[in-house]
Amino acid sequence: QMKIAVLTSGGDSAGMNAVVRAVVRIGIIKGCETYIIREGYEGLVRGNTHSQDTKPLCKTEFTLDYQVAIPQVIDNLRFGYGSLLKNGEGDIDEQGIATTKTLKGKYIVRVGWDDVRSWLSEGGTLIGTARSKTFRTHEGRLAAARNLVLEGINALVVCGGDGSLTGADVFRQEWPELISTLLKNGSITSEDANAYAHLKIVGLVGSIDNDMALTDLTIGAPTALQRICEAIDNINSTAISHSRAFVLEVMGRHCGWLALLAAVSGGADYLFIPEKPPSDPWEEDMCQVIQQHRAAGKRKTLVIVAEGAHDASLNPIRAEQVKTVLSERLGLDSRVTTLGHTQRGGRPVAWDRILPTLQGVEAVNALLEATPSTPSYMIGMRENKIIRIPLVEAVNMTRAVAQAINEKDFEKAMSLRDPEFIE
Ligand code: F6P
């Protein structure tokens, strides 16, 4: 029987809860045992401190034939752990991770149908996330592999951004070596080593940045874009009232997708994105464009700056700098608005419920169909179709974009990102 665990990692994004819900429910429908791992890879490294206690945490039993008994499942599985994940008194450890009393020392938790009830519309990630430093070490990954084997989990779904999926790819590559080390040091038996010889792992891209190669859209990006769009509408009315200039800094790390699409959907006079820096000196080019717009009668100016923006020599361009240029060279009454984490939190828009649900189904199918010779997949979407992409290819291509930007080969970066759209 397949035991599937799902974790969310890196920066949270709207739609991550819908991923967990889809994986858990489709997993149950397909006859699997389903688990969540709290606090991302950090929880995988920590594992459960109660290994002698083999009783599942979940109060529900999973003996029904789920193919035919969905209504019964809904009626019967009423005693889940969903509320424990959300509420309860507890402690905060030295790394700021909060733990309810019941889940203290338990990072890998069996969950049932009801545990994920009403998760579709919740923002953030209810199972917690972290940017785990320990998982970046070999020792950490060894502990993570041991915990998976000890808990009997043979399939893993990771939902996170490019860093988290790179981590998943490293884990996948190292897996045979991790298993043989665990066998040698006596942490697992030879039966376990045989049973867990291959790691079944699949990645789902949860990130507001939409920075993963080989997929058109990442989970959470549409919601973040919607937030920015609403912020632009709000800014516009006050900007027009005062005839002011606003410089809006948006997230996206090294990717300009949010900034670019915000400019398309909200309207902007000028835009700075990492993939296509303005020609030097950017100050002159920007002032010329804005002067033309003002001469044509515009009462407001909006400049969008991606947080990873830089000039053609890779010197960062920050919103405050842009504001100073607008004030000093054009005499515009200027303000900076940094949207920050308001872009990331809050309820997912409809598309960030649909995409994770469809991709969650595909993730479970990919795990069930996995054989030792099939590659580990990342689930993506291209031209409105849910697709499987070899994880290693997506990770390598994403790295190639970053490398092209570092080498100032912006044309290459653009062509690797999404040529048609950026042009
Ligand atoms: O990757 C998602 C993201 O929101 C980026 O856009 C941003 O640069 C970063 O995470 C912020 O990270 P943190 O929440 O750790 O400050």
Query: pLDDT tens for residues 265-308?
Result: 999 999 999 999 998 899 999 999 999 999 999 999 999 999 99
Query: pLDDT tens for residues 365-414?
Result: 999 999 989 999 999 999 999 999 999 999 999 999 999 999 999 988 88
Query: pLDDT tens for residues 219-263?
Result: 999 999 999 999 999 999 999 999 999 999 999 999 999 999 999
Cα radius of gyration rounded to whole Å, the chain = 24
Q: What is the pTM of this model?
A: 0.90
Distance CA(203)–CA(211), nearest Å, equals 14
- SS3 for 8-62 is ECCCCCCCHHHHHHHHHHHHHHCCCEEEEECCHHHHHHHCCCCCCCCCCCCCCCC
Q: How far is the CA of 372 from the centre of ligand 1 (A)?
A: 35
Is 342 assigned to a binding site? Answer: yes
* ipTM for the assembly: 0.97
Query: pLDDT tens for residues 86-128?
Result: 444 566 676 667 666 667 788 998 888 888 988 999 999 999 9
Distance CA(249)–CA(272), nearest Å, equals 10
Task: Indicate which residue's Cα is closest to atom 10 of ligand 1.
Answer: 11
Q: Has 209 been annotated as catalytic?
A: yes
Query: Which residue among the candidates 114, 115, 209, 211 is catalytic per the annotation?
Result: 209
- Cβ(344) to ligand 1 under 6 A? yes
Task: Indicate which residue's Cα is closest to atom 2 of ligand 1.
Answer: 11
Indicate which atom in ligand 1 lies nearest the CA of residue 252: 6
- Cβ(353) to ligand 1 under 6 A? no
